[in-house]
């Protein structure tokens, strides 16, 4: 008899496409399921997601680095006892903050919550942050600044289908979230898809082929572009003055600040022709509800954020949307396309250095008191604010002597990754919870095998703030265990009297209580309610509420109900062009790979589709350097070098090269990227740095150099 299928969601991006898993003797079958976000579609990663469950190198037993220097199988009792003993010793010698915790945006809400609670009540360390700091933190900071609330999309994704114009900055959704493209079909047919990208990406091509607009600015000039668009809104009398007077503060200051960004100046800075700037504004303004249009949206992704002025760039995008009267209006608004599967929920409940559950500030006395009551601890014992991810990594081997890593592959995903490797190697203790031998796991002192998405219960929060159920379809292999059990065991061994549930439904109930009254209020939810209701539940969902699919209809999140407009000014790349580095490097994703590639590089079909790194460069640039298609190209920055095969294309600007960041070894793009950070959000400047290129020596020679 064939087992019944289990309804759940894809383990990869924040679109959280719905799927049904059906176990059989041959493995686990994947079927797409009709759902408002994916409309019955899946991308190649989703269709092959079950293959990761049965990888031949799946970690299924605890591993401890022995006297031989190799990782060796041990029992769970040995592994957790070793970790607990080392933690006690290191904290006795160096203080509580000697232990750091690095979480991941793929963890369920329950795991993210429990990890934050464990760090602050058992370890009592302030040093926790997560890889979501690399993804959407600048949009989060800008959203909080402008609206008083940070939710990726403050409206259901389906609203995109109704809009007449969409300005999309720095997100190649056709490759990164292919099922989302269905929601852009209408706006594309109407000629209203406006894409900002220094490459003619698959998404930019959709805009151009649909009579939309592709704006192709010089890397690092998105903010100047946005200021120029807002200047035109003001100069041509297109601002929604009635909306601004009723719902916004700061408009006069912003209006004055953009007077300097006249079209000729912006065109010379960005390389986007003046007539393209004017046409973009006309399309957006004509679609705005105040002018009788069907709706307009401004959406940002990592390309706009991952800069040292990323928060201000997103603020400029929000200012443009507010000036046109979009947020809170029908089929209109500003939104951020969250990347990681639980990038939204993962930061709401305690993984970020400065936040407690419910998206509360850890420095707010009332928030601390409330959470302390739920946890059963004294408020004074909860540590203060920690530091963002890049600063946390900078402390490794110094103030931070040990690091727990959950759901992240730092040695590939962090900026200036070669320097990060050296700091990780200097630790006294590295504990990695993972299910594959990632580059980071292979460097660990202890590896703890954990359950995967299809082997566990829990919840995730999608890019639109919708809380979703992740359901167990199969049992985990070998001795793999949930982080909920691991953290409970460690808490007991470390002598903590704080209670840690191990059943996901009970952990969620506690999370709901801890979030009650917070910005991200989940207090009206439970696993039982999520299982019983077929309709969408978007946070906030206070007790007795049906959820909030659309924020900002009546008021914004600030106490006075108004949005805040803030004048901004571009800062430019921290690592700018110079004679020995005359080109810009931009980084990004490809369709068949995901994040650091630790999972997707192990799936044969995905590896065949995208078998290795490449350097994309324009034919004119290639000719200047004597590079032919398929040659090995060395890309060198002030931090390091990478080498990959040349891919010559007119889709890239002649002054720019592109590398995807999914690979380790010689082709590791993050060996080159800059770890300079945005001063507000702490997000590193992955998206642009100055490089030199040349035909390369053998890749093995570069690899030896990188690892030296």
Q: In 301-395, at which residue ranges do the beta strands (DSSP E only) sit?
A: 333-336, 355-356, 360-361
For residue 435, tell me if it sits in a domain.
yes
Boundary-marking domain end, from 532, 556, 575: 532
* Domain CATH for 30: 2.20.25.90
C-beta of residue 415 within 8 angstroms of C-beta of residue 673: yes
Chain centroid offset of residue 444 CA = 24
Domain co-membership, 180 together with 328: yes
pLDDT band at 699 (very low <50, low <70, confident <90, very high): low
For 46-67, write each residue's pLDDT tens digit: 999 999 999 999 999 999 999 9
Domain co-membership, 164 together with 269: yes
For 332-364, write each residue's pLDDT tens digit: 999 999 889 899 998 899 999 999 999 999 999
Six-digit token string for 527: 């696993």
* Domain CATH for 157: 3.40.228.10
Q: At residue 212, what are phi and psi to the nearest 5 degrees?
A: -90, -155
pLDDT band at 688 (very low <50, low <70, confident <90, very high): very high
Helix, strand, coil % over all residues of the chain, rounded to 5: 40, 20, 45
Residue 136: predicted pLDDT:
87
For residue 203, tell me if it sits in a domain.
yes
For residue 333, tell me if it sits in a domain.
yes
Cβ density class 175-199: b for 16+ within 10 Å, e for less: bbbbbbbbbbebbbebebbbbbbbb
- C-alpha–C-alpha distance, residues 232 and 235, integer Å: 5
Domain co-membership, 179 together with 313: yes
Domain co-membership, 374 together with 474: yes
**How much of the chain, in percent, has pLDDT values that exceed 70?**
98
Q: Is the pLDDT of residue 707 over 60?
A: no
Domain co-membership, 127 together with 144: no
Burial class (CB in 10 A: 0-12, 13-18, 19+), 609: middle
Q: Is the pLDDT of residue 697 over 80?
A: no
**How much of the chain, in percent, has pLDDT values that exceed 90?**
94
DSSP state of 126: S
Report H helices in 395-441.
410-413, 417-425
For residue 557, tell me if it sits in a domain.
no
For 269-287, write each residue's pLDDT tens digit: 999 999 999 999 999 999 9
- C-alpha–C-alpha distance, residues 466 and 539, integer Å: 7
Residue 290: predicted pLDDT:
87
- Comparing CA positions, the residue from 448, 424, 495, 538 lying closest to residue 124 is 495
Domain co-membership, 379 together with 503: yes
Q: Is the pLDDT of residue 684 over 90?
A: yes
- Comparing CA positions, the residue from 647, 694, 646, 641 lying closest to residue 672 is 641
Domain co-membership, 166 together with 283: yes
pLDDT, the chain, mean: 95
CA terminus-to-terminus distance, the chain? 56
3-state SS class at 616 = strand
**Predicted model pTM:** 0.96
Burial class (CB in 10 A: 0-12, 13-18, 19+), 590: buried
For 210-225, write each residue's pLDDT tens digit: 899 999 999 999 999 9
Six-digit token string for 218: 């010089």
Residue 190: predicted pLDDT:
94
Q: Is the pLDDT of residue 531 over 70?
A: yes
Domain co-membership, 160 together with 293: yes
275: CB partners within 8 A, 6+ apart:
none
- C-alpha–C-alpha distance, residues 433 and 443, integer Å: 12
Domain co-membership, 127 together with 145: no
Report H helices in 107-250.
109-118, 137-147, 173-176, 185-189, 202-209, 222-235, 241-247
For 622-657, write each residue's pLDDT tens digit: 999 999 999 999 999 999 999 999 999 999 999 999
Domain co-membership, 528 together with 476: yes
For residue 476, tell me if it sits in a domain.
yes
For residue 556, tell me if it sits in a domain.
no
pLDDT band at 3 (very low <50, low <70, confident <90, very high): low
Q: Is the pLDDT of residue 373 over 70?
A: yes
- Comparing CA positions, the residue from 346, 291, 383, 286 lying closest to residue 113 is 346
Boundary-marking domain end, from 337, 352, 376: 337
C-beta of residue 466 within 8 angstroms of C-beta of residue 537: yes
Q: Which residue has the higher pLDDT, 463 or 707?
A: 463
Six-digit token string for 670: 């993050």
Boundary-marking domain end, from 282, 304, 337: 337
Six-digit token string for 389: 């991810």
Residue 39: C-alpha distances to residues 186, 339, 341, 430 (Å): 15, 19, 18, 42
* Domain CATH for 601: 2.40.40.20
Six-digit token string for 562: 């108004």
Tokens 């007119």, residue? 650
Tokens 């903050």, residue? 97
Residue 574: predicted pLDDT:
96
- Could you tell me the residue range of the domain that residue 44 belongs to? 6-54
Q: At what angle are helices 417-425 and 699-707 packed, to 10 degrees?
A: 50
Q: Is the pLDDT of residue 706 over 60?
A: no
Domain co-membership, 316 together with 370: no
What is the H or E stretch that residue 488 is in?
A: helix 483-493
Section 390-403 average pLDDT:
98
Domain co-membership, 36 together with 184: no
Residue 535: predicted pLDDT:
82
DSSP 645-693: EEEE-TTB-TTEEEEE----GGG-GGGTS---B-TTT--B-TT-EEEEE
* Domain CATH for 508: 3.40.50.740
Q: Checking DSSP bridges between strand 656-660 and strand 583-588, what pairing results, if any?
A: parallel
For residue 1, tell me if it sits in a domain.
no
pLDDT band at 708 (very low <50, low <70, confident <90, very high): very low
For residue 487, tell me if it sits in a domain.
yes
For 76-121, write each residue's pLDDT tens digit: 999 999 999 999 999 999 999 999 999 999 999 999 999 999 999 9
Quote the number of domains for the chain. 4
DSSP state of 461: E
């Amino acid at each position: 008899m064939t087992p019944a299928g289990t309804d759940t969601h894809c383990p990869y991006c924040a679109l959280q496409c719905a799927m049904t898993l059906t176990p059989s003797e041959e493995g686990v079958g994947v079927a797409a399921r009709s759902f408002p976000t994916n409309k019955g579609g899946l991308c190649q990663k989703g269709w092959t997601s079950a293959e990761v469950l049965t990888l031949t190198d799946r970690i299924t037993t605890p591993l401890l680095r022995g006297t031989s220097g190799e990782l060796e199988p041990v029992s769970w009792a040995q592994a957790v006892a070793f970790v607990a003993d080392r933690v006690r010793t290191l904290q006795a010698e160096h203080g509580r903050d000697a232990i750091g915790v690095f979480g991941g945006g793929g963890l369920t809400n329950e795991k993210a919550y429990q990890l934050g609670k464990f760090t602050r009540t058992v370890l009592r360390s302030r040093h926790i942050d997560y890889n979501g700091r690399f993804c959407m933190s600048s949009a989060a900071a800008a959203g909080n600044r402008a609206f008083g609330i940070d939710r990726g999309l403050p409206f259901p994704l389906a609203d995109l289908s109704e809009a007449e114009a969409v300005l999309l900055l720095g997100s190649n959704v056709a490759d990164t979230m292919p099922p989302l493209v269905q929601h852009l079909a209408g706006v594309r047919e109407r000629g209203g898809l406006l894409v900002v990208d220094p490459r003619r990406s698959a998404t930019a091509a959709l805009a151009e082929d649909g009579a939309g607009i592709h704006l192709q600015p010089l890397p690092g000039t998105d903010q100047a572009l946005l200021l120029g668009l807002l200047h035109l809104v003001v100069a041509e009398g297109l601002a929604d003055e009635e909306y601004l007077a009723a719902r916004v503060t700061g408009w006069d200051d912003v209006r004055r600040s953009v007077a300097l960004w006249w079209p000729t100046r912006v065109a010379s800075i960005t390389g986007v022709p003046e007539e393209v700037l004017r046409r973009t504004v006309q399309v957006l303004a004509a679609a705005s509800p105040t002018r009788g249009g069907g709706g307009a949206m401004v959406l940002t992704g990592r390309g706009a954020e991952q800069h040292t002025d990323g928060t201000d760039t997103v603020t400029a995008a929000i200012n443009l949307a507010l000036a046109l009267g979009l947020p809170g209006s029908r089929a209109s608004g500003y939104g951020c396309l969250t990347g990681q599967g639980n990038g939204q929920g993962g930061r709401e409940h305690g993984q970020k250095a400065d936040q407690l559950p419910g998206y509360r500030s850890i420095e707010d006395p009332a928030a601390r008191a409330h959470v302390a009551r739920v946890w059963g601890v004294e408020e004074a014992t909860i540590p203060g604010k920690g530091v963002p991810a890049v600063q946390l990594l900078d402390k490794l081997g110094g103030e931070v002597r040990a690091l727990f890593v959950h759901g992240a592959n730092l040695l590939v995903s962090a900026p200036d990754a070669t320097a990060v490797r050296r700091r990780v190697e200097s630790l006294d203790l590295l504990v990695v919870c993972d299910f594959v031998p990632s580059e980071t796991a292979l460097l660990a002192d202890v590896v703890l095998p954990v359950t995967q998405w299809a082997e566990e219960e829990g919840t995730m929060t999608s890019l639109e703030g919708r809380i979703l159920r992740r359901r167990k379809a199969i049992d985990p292999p070998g001795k793999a265990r949930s982080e909920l059990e691991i953290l409970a065991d460690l808490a007991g061994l470390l002598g903590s009297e704080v209670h840690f549930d191990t059943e996901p439904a009970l952990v969620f109930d506690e999370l709901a209580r801890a979030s009650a009254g917070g910005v991200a209020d989940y207090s009206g939810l439970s696993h039982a309610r999520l299982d019983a209701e077929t309709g969408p539940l978007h946070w906030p969902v206070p007790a007795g509420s049906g959820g909030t699919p659309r924020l900002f209809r009546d008021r914004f999140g600030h106490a006075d109900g108004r949005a805040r407009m803030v004048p901004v000014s571009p800062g430019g790349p921290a690592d700018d062009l110079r004679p020995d580095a005359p080109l810009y490097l931009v980084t990004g994703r490809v369709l068949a790979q995901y994040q650091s590639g630790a999972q997707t590089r192990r799936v044969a079909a995905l590896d065949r589709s995208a078998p290795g790194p490449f350097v994309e460069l324009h034919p004119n640039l290639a000719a200047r350097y004597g590079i032919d298609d398929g040659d090995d190209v060395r890309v060198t920055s002030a931090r390091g070098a990478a080498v990959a095969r040349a891919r010559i294309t007119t889709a890239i600007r002649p002054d720019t090269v592109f590398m995807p960041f999914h690979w380790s070894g010689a082709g590791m793009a993050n060996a080159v990227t800059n770890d300079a950070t945005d001063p507000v959000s702490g997000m590193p400047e992955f998206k642009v740095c100055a490089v030199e290129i040349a035909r390369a020596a053998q890749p093995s020679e570069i690899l030896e150099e990188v690892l030296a």
